[in-house]
């Protein structure tokens, strides 16, 4: 399994770094389970802070993926109602500045709650990412917390909206993590693009 190493933590616009390595941003609503997914991908319990109170990620966190040398970039969760208007605006500015300005950003991994109908803020972020000409990798989280029927409905909804079916994941059950790592490696360019769906399924996990 690849290793994740927290290398940089950015809180303000003037701290933003220009990193000359491929990057994939991870973004989602403040209670979507982003920290849990990062920990599951890393095979660790405490790499990213998980709290019962949403909205704890207030910085941009750069995780280096070893040994491959690209970065997963954890963006501040959005839609946290208890944050002040000024806080929410500052987080939004930091997120938008990074998405629009990072020259080596390859894609946005958009985390979506399997239990919820498409939300306005998620739709707005996907629209902004497209304006920035970013590819979108949709990821359904918390798949273990809803029925198979509801998951299938959510996959179909987001496929209609984004044009690609989302990956289905569960951090607690480790569902979909192998496939997610494959997709991240492909986006970052550390695996060759498969020539068919069959080859994609046969690719070993790096």
Q: DSSP label at 11?
A: -
Contacts of 26 (CB under 8 A, 6+ apart): 34, 37, 38, 72, 73, 74, 75, 109, 111
Spans of all domains in the chain: 3-202
In this predicted model, what pLDDT tens digit does every residue of 122-153 receive, in sequence order? 999 999 999 999 999 999 999 999 999 999 99
The CATH code of domain 3-202 reads 3.40.50.300
Whether this model's pTM surpasses 0.75: yes
Contacts of 167 (CB under 8 A, 6+ apart): 137, 138, 139, 140, 176, 179, 180, 183
Taking each continuous run of H as one helix and of E as one strand, the counts in the chain are: 6, 7
In this predicted model, what pLDDT tens digit does every residue of 164-194 receive, in sequence order? 999 999 999 999 999 999 999 999 999 776 6
For the purposes of burial, counting CB atoms within 10 Å of the CB of 202, is it exposed (0-12), middle (13-18) or buried (19 or more)?
exposed
Please tell me the distance from the alpha carbon of residue 157 to that of residue 166, in angstroms, as a whole number.
10
In this predicted model, what pLDDT tens digit does every residue of 23-82 receive, in sequence order? 999 999 888 999 999 999 999 988 987 654 444 557 889 999 999 999 999 998 876 555
Q: Output phi, psi for 43, to 5 deg.
A: 70, 30
């Amino acid at each position: 399994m690849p290793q994740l190493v927290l290398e940089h933590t950015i809180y303000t616009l003037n701290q933003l770094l220009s990193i000359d390595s491929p990057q994939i941003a991870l973004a989602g609503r403040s209670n979507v389970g982003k920290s849990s997914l990062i920990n599951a991908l890393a095979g660790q319990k405490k790499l990213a802070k998980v709290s019962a109170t949403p909205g704890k990620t207030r910085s941009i966190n750069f995780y280096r993926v070893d040994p491959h040398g690209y970065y997963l970039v954890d963006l501040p969760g959005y839609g946290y109602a208890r944050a002040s208007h000024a806080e929410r605006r500052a987080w939004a500015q930091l997120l938008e500045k990074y998405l629009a300005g990072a020259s080596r950003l390859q894609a946005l991994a958009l985390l979506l709650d399997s239990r919820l109908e498409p939300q306005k803020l998620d739709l707005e972020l996907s629209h902004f990412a497209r304006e920035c000409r970013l590819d979108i990798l949709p990821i359904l989280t918390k798949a273990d917390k809803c029925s198979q029927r509801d998951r299938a409905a959510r996959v179909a909804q987001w496929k209609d909206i984004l044009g690609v079916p989302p990956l289905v994941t569960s951090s607690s059950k480790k569902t979909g993590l192998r496939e997610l790592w494959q997709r991240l490696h492909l986006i970052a360019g550390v695996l060759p693009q498969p020539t068919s769906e069959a080859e994609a399924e046969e690719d070993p996990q790096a």
